[in-house]
Chains A and B, each alone.
Chain A
Amino acid sequence: MTDRDRFFELLAKKKLNNCTLSDIAEINRLAKEYDIDLDNLSQLDHIFNLQFVAAERPSVTSAENSWLKFKEKLKEDKQIYIPADTDDKKPKYRIMRYYMAASVAVIFVLLGIYVFVFQNHDADKLNIISTQYGSKSKVEMPDGTQIWLNAGSKITYDNQYGKKTRSISLEGEAFFDVHHDPKHPFIIHTKNLTLKVLGTAFNVRDFKEENNSIATLIRGSLEVSFPSKPEQKIILKPKEKLVISNKNATRKVTADKEHIEMALSHVNDVATIDHMIEEIAWTENKLIFRSKTFEELVLDLERWYNIKIEIQDEAIKSKKFTGAFKNETFFEALDALKETYAFDYKFNKATNTVTIKTQL
């Protein structure tokens, strides 16, 4: 066994609280000989602390389905139960089980038909698809439209979807590749925007904690209007991006004086990093940011990595950052940001919070 193998074996033993005094002495000796900082092995701790799960472990839903079947069985149980030690009667018990299974299956089929028929009349039933912080999701709608949902976002649609129009609500950020169907306009409602399309690909971003709402068109055409001012309409052309400032939205304004602060710009090729358009890079698992203030970037990082971030350094909030992350862990990302503007941070594992401080 090489020294290196021995070293890692000893660390494993130590992790299991299985070390003898001479083992610990040996770890210290090896660490000294090879100049390893024993305090700096937290990575290894993280790996030992990882949780694993069997790939084929039944989900909560399938456990619940199994329970429903089991519960049915309990109802009939008094009539069919024959103690297991009477082996000769077992076949009968088995046959009964098949009848049971068959009748349960029939019940489920009937239930399925009932739900199907019932739901068709139930126009108000809402379907909700949402993502937690730290995770993204891709959905294919019944009409073939594809939706990529970024972290911390939610789409909602009712059962009228696809009948006359294809209408959905969005909170957060999503990229849409809408199946072309002129007879059924695709309409997206966000807090600050209404978007109407026929068949196109575009990105919408409207997080309630952010100051701007942004629509970016990749191909096709897109009609944007505003819930607060429905008569105003803007048509976007491919590679155009519309940014709406919502800073006034919280202020009380009278309907006639209200105006919407907006900026129309081009997604030009200069703005692409790694041959990818910044606004939709997240669909490929890349977090790209161009001269974003640290305060804005932190909101992205919180959603992206599912970690709470507290800024205690006022000066850094307005500093602007440009960069791209793909496979970096959260701490690799933080360390990279530190290269641009020095700061210190502290991680509290219990509250899953990182505190950003002025570097001393």
Chain B
Amino acid sequence: MSDNHLDNIDFNAGSHQDEEELFKTIYLEFYPSLIVFAKGFLKEIATAEDIVEDVLLKLWHNRSAIYAIKNLKLYLFVATKNACLNHLAKNKRMDYESLEDLEVAILKVSHSPEEAFISNEQLHKIQEEINKLPTKCRAIFMLIKEEGLKYSEVAELLNLSVKTIEAQMSIALKRLSEAIQHDFPSFVVKKQNKSS
């Protein structure tokens, strides 16, 4: 995960070209994440692209003040959320601040070394379980696991309490373990004996 290496960037030293190079780093770093996030609200890729570009354009206009933003990643996620909700409110498609309809993209296991330890069959099951999670739970799971946001950041972004985030993550991880429960046969056998 990108560990806030893009915080405390100062645009006030350097030529226009330097500024553009610096902004490019920010753009490439956050664009894919923001698109995935915005699409959750808007469902249409073209609108999501428009909105994310607008958010980033506003950031460009305020670049001289970027150094004052403590947490750029969270700032951009919040700005994108607000822009999306504004857009939806204008088009009367959704009540402001409602997150229940947030649709989260299908998640798949990305290429990670852990894959070598898990059979294809298990991977498939895990992926299925994750995508069966309730949308809110999956959204939280994605923001934490994929985007590397902290619990407190997700809480702020989604207007939820940290406790709720913890509870939702616990549900997600429990589902993951359930996907491979049968790999603990002793547990299964004994339990059957007990219940019979």
A53 touches B107 (CB 8 A): yes
B172 / chain A contacts, CB cutoff of 8 Å: 12
**Between-chain CB contacts (< 8 Å), 9 pairs:** A16-B166, A18-B170, A34-B187, A36-B186, A47-B177, A51-B109, A53-B146, A66-B53, A329-B116
B119 touches A332 (CB 8 A): yes
Interface string of B164-191 (1 = CB under 8 A from A): 0010011011101111110110111011
B173 touches A70 (CB 8 A): no
B118 / chain A contacts, CB cutoff of 8 Å: 43, 46-47, 50, 329
Q: Does any Cβ of B come within 8 Å of A108's Cβ? A: no
A48 touches B105 (CB 8 A): no
Q: Which residue of A lies closest to B121 (CB)?
A: A327
A329 touches B119 (CB 8 A): yes
A18 / chain B contacts, CB cutoff of 8 Å: 166, 170
Q: Does any Cβ of A come within 8 Å of B130's Cβ? A: yes
A35 / chain B contacts, CB cutoff of 8 Å: 186, 190
B57 / chain A contacts, CB cutoff of 8 Å: 70, 73, 77, 81
Given A4-B187, A47-B126, A57-B105, A52-B114 contact (CB < 8 Å): no
A54 touches B106 (CB 8 A): yes
Q: Does any Cβ of B come within 8 Å of A25's Cβ? A: no
Could you tell me the distance between the alpha carbons of A330 and B118 in the complex, rounded to whole angstroms?
9
Of B31, B108, B170, the residue contacting A55 (CB under 8 A) is B108
Could you tell me the distance between the alpha carbons of A50 and B109 in the complex, rounded to whole angstroms?
7
Q: Does any Cβ of A come within 8 Å of B142's Cβ? A: yes
Could you tell me the distance between the alpha carbons of A63 and B145 in the complex, rounded to whole angstroms?
21
Given A55-B106, A66-B31, A352-B113, A12-B183 contact (CB < 8 Å): no
Q: Does any Cβ of A come within 8 Å of B13's Cβ? A: no
From A13, A46, A62, name the one whose CB has the most chain B CB atoms within 10 angstroms. Answer: A46
B117 touches A331 (CB 8 A): yes
> Binding site of B, secondary structure by majority: helix, strand, loop or mixed?
helix
- Tally chain B residues at the interface, Cβ within 8 Å: 63
Of B27, B119, B126, B177, the residue contacting A67 (CB under 8 A) is B27
Q: Does any Cβ of A come within 8 Å of B134's Cβ? A: no
> Binding site of A, secondary structure by majority: helix, strand, loop or mixed?
helix
Q: Does any Cβ of B come within 8 Å of A74's Cβ? A: yes
> How many A residues touch the partner, as a band?
35 or more
Q: Does any Cβ of B come within 8 Å of A84's Cβ? A: yes
Could you tell me the distance between the alpha carbons of A331 and B122 in the complex, rounded to whole angstroms?
14
Q: Does any Cβ of B come within 8 Å of A60's Cβ? A: yes
B27 touches A2 (CB 8 A): no
Given A55-B107, A67-B24, A73-B57, A349-B113 contact (CB < 8 Å): yes
B114 touches A330 (CB 8 A): no
B27 / chain A contacts, CB cutoff of 8 Å: 63, 66-67, 70
Interface string of B104-145 (1 = CB under 8 A from A): 111111111111111111100010001000000000011001
B142 touches A52 (CB 8 A): yes
Q: Does any Cβ of A come within 8 Å of B10's Cβ? A: no
Q: Does any Cβ of B come within 8 Å of A64's Cβ? A: yes
A307 / chain B contacts, CB cutoff of 8 Å: 116
Given A53-B146, A58-B31, A63-B31, A16-B170 contact (CB < 8 Å): yes
